[in-house]
Amino acid sequence: MKYVFVSLLLFLCSLYALSIDGWHNIRFSEKTSAASIYLRTDSNQSNINLNKLVYNAGSGNIETDLATYSPGSYQAQVYAGTGRTFYGLRRQAGNEPVKVVPLRYAGTALPASNLLTKVSDDPANDQSVNHQDIIAEYISLSDTKLIVGLQNRGGGFPTSGGWFGPFYSYMVGIGDPSLEDPNDPDATAWALQFVNASGIMNHGLYKITGTSIDEVNRIADIDYSINSSTNTLVMSCDISVLLNDPDFTSWYDPANPSFGILSLVNKISVSFSGVSVTQQDNSNGGIIYPVPLYVDPQTVPVGQIGEVTLQIEDQDLYFETQYTKPEDRFCWDLTYQTDDGRIYPMFTSDPEHAAVLSFRSANLQEDFPEVDNEQGRIWVERTPDEYHQSNWYSYSFVRAVNEPQNLQMEVQAEQLTISWDPVTQTPAGTTIEADYYVVEYASDPASAFTALPPVATNSMAIPLSTLGEKTFLKVRAHKIIP
């Protein structure tokens, strides 16, 4: 009996490194106005056959596809509760076993079968007797309980075929997913078993330490129920029994937990020569990651928009900002939008799950208009069509300014007063206001000019002693841009 269970477990559990990292960078959106949330996760595998997100909107567990969002990234939109909301995951790629993160069960009583997370399906009609034909198995966990489910084709879960048998055992077993040698005499497995073979064994949690019936020992009670409408047997045991067993904790790592699961239907026959066990059916089983996956939904922005800057380089002109958020959250698009409605999408090369993302616009050198003190701000799309905005940001950008015109001079009281018309346009005709002017002088126009301190007005009084006997003057208008 031990050999049958462990060898099938090995068939399912190869030497893949098992961890929640099978779903990379799990992240959530904020809660939408329609009380839903988006979950995204990454995978570096291309041969994914099954990729499901499990949730409960109040009437039982539901599975929905994690559909391809972008190469290597998958997304689903699902229900989000008013408080902490738990989710489950189910995935199968290539020839790997099914991998499952169970949706947590919050109750204390034994759950209904529709509150369990499916592990795997098993072909129907591969056994001639309906109650011996497994068609699916399930799992869940609460804070204190390990809960499993076994579904057959029908006929209930009879444990005896008569006064002298045969007897039937319905078993959901767990074991080390990295087990390599099914014949290893030191290998140990555990099973929740629904059975009533008089004088041999009855319902309970069993520890299996060998291949004979004497090495299948009952170690704890289980709770169980049968849902005849769905042909499902639900069983649970205290997790503490397993966690207090040194043989279990020798391989089970609470920091990166996983275990293999497999369901069996066995026939137990009793004769004068002894007790024999014959396997009738087994499930496809899977690998379980008992990790609580949840989000605390929020409708308010959880990220912070950094300072917006307009970067001007020799061959590049772009807006830039940073967005800071928790690693388990993501946003959709960032755009820079001006007060008059122009929109400039922003991009990042940082991974979506990063806590700090640097965003920039495309190169706007050829397309960006000249503006003076234009208002703009960042828009962050937190969920589709729901945005978070930064404070307004004011900036100016011009490619050149016109030269001051109508220069006039007047000498009075040992000083020269020079004035000119304010510069109000660029060569392209954009209306601006010059930020300051600089007057420069030299005794020879071919020599270097000396600049006087800048002024914000369109006139300046200069002591004649500063200029010397012969002076050439020129005035430049300046516009401050980032």
16-57: per-residue pLDDT in tens? Answer: 222 366 788 999 999 998 899 999 999 888 889 999 999 999
The per-residue pLDDT for 19 is 32
Which one of 373, 397, 421 terminates a domain? 397
- Answer yes or no: do 173 and 267 share one domain: yes
Query: Domain boundary residue among 273, 295, 317?
Result: 295
Domain of 369, CATH number, reads 2.60.40.10
What pLDDT, on the 0 to 100 scale, is given for residue 4? Answer: 34
One domain for residues 80 and 39: yes
Token pair 């090495």 in the structure block, residue: 215
pLDDT (mean) for 73-82: 93
Are 332 and 422 in a shared domain?
A: no
Q: Specify if 403 maps to a domain.
A: no
Top-confidence residue, 413 or 135: 135
Task: Flag whether 456 is in a domain.
Answer: yes
Q: Is residue 53 a part of any domain in this protein?
A: yes
Is the model's pLDDT at 112 over the cut of 60? Answer: yes
Which residue range(s) make up the domain with 268?
Answer: 2-295
Q: 9 near 173, Cβ under 8 Å?
A: yes
Between these two residues, 179 and 189, which has the higher pLDDT value? Answer: 189
Bond preceding residue 97 cis, omega within 30 of 0 = no
Asked if residue 362 is part of any domain, the answer here is yes
Q: Containing H/E element for 3?
A: helix 2-12
What is the reported pLDDT for 215?
82
The pLDDT of residue 403 is 95
18 token code pair: 């098992």
Q: Mark whether 379 and 429 lie in a shared domain.
A: no
149 in the same domain as 16: yes
Instruction: Band the pLDDT of 260: cuts 50, 70, 90.
Output: very high
- pLDDT over 90 for what percent of the chain? 71
Position with higher pLDDT, 262 vs 199: 262
Least confidently predicted of 2-6, 33-37, 136-140, 148-152? 2-6
Q: Which two tokens stand for residue 31?
A: 């809660």
Give yes or no: residues 363 and 384 share one domain. yes
Both 137 and 203 in a single domain? yes
Contacts 24+ apart (CB under 8 A), 400-404: 400/426, 400/427, 400/428, 401/425, 401/426, 401/427, 401/432, 401/434, 401/477, 401/478, 401/479, 402/426, 402/427, 402/477, 403/475, 403/476, 403/477, 404/437, 404/458, 404/475, 404/476, 404/477
Residue 260 sits in the same domain as residue 320:
no
The pLDDT-based confidence of 275 (bands split at 50, 70, 90) is confident
Q: Compute φ and ψ for 291, nearest 5 degrees.
A: -110, 125
Question: Is the pLDDT higher at 269 or at 91?
Answer: 91
CA gap 119, 115 in Å, rounded = 13
Residue 7 pLDDT > 80, yes or no?
no
pLDDT at residue 182 in the model? 47
pLDDT at 284 over 50: yes
Find the mean pLDDT for residues 301-314: 92
Q: Is the pLDDT of residue 245 over 90?
A: yes
Please report whether residue 369 resides in a domain: yes
Is residue 463 a part of any domain in this protein?
A: yes
How confident is the model at residue 181, as a pLDDT?
54
Cα–Cα distance measured from residue 276 to residue 274, given in angstroms and rounded to the nearest whole number: 7
Residue 414 counted as domain residue:
yes
- What average pLDDT score do residues 348-354 get? 93
Query: DSSP alpha helices (H): ranges in 137-292?
Result: 239-243, 246-249
Number of domains in the chain: 3
Q: Do β-strands 98-101 and 286-288 pair in parallel, antiparallel, or remain unpaired?
A: parallel
> Is residue 163 very low, low, confident or very high in pLDDT (cuts 50, 70, 90)?
low
Classify 467 as helix, strand or coil.
Answer: helix
363 shares its domain with 415: no
Question: Which of 368, 361, 354, 12 is closest to 177 using CA atoms?
Answer: 12
Residue 2 has pLDDT above 50, yes or no: no
The pLDDT assigned to 272 comes to 66
Residue 95 and residue 41 share a domain: yes
CA dihedral 439, 444, 450, 453 (to 10 degrees): -20
Residue ranges of E strands in 160-292: 167-175, 189-197, 201-208, 216-220, 223-227, 232-238, 259-271, 274-282, 286-288
The helix (H) or strand (E) run that includes residue 5 is helix 2-12
Burial of 232: CB neighbours in 10 Å, binned 0-12, 13-18, 19+: buried
Confidence of residue 185 (pLDDT cuts 50, 70, 90): low
pLDDT band per the 50, 70, 90 thresholds, residue 197: confident
Question: Mean of the pLDDT values across residues 217-240?
Answer: 96
pLDDT of residue 347: 97
Of residues 320 and 164, more confidence is placed in 320
If one counts every other C-beta atom within 10 angstroms of the C-beta of residue 70, the result is 10
Task: Write down the mean pLDDT value for the chain.
Answer: 89
Same domain, 163 and 81: yes
pLDDT at 212 over 60: yes
**Domain end among 295, 320, 348:** 295
Is residue 402 situated within a structural domain?
no
**pTM of this structure:** 0.82
Same domain for 189 and 60, yes or no, is yes
Q: How confident is the model at residue 136 (pLDDT cuts 50, 70, 90)?
A: very high
| Cα distance from N-terminal residue to C-terminal residue, the chain | 77
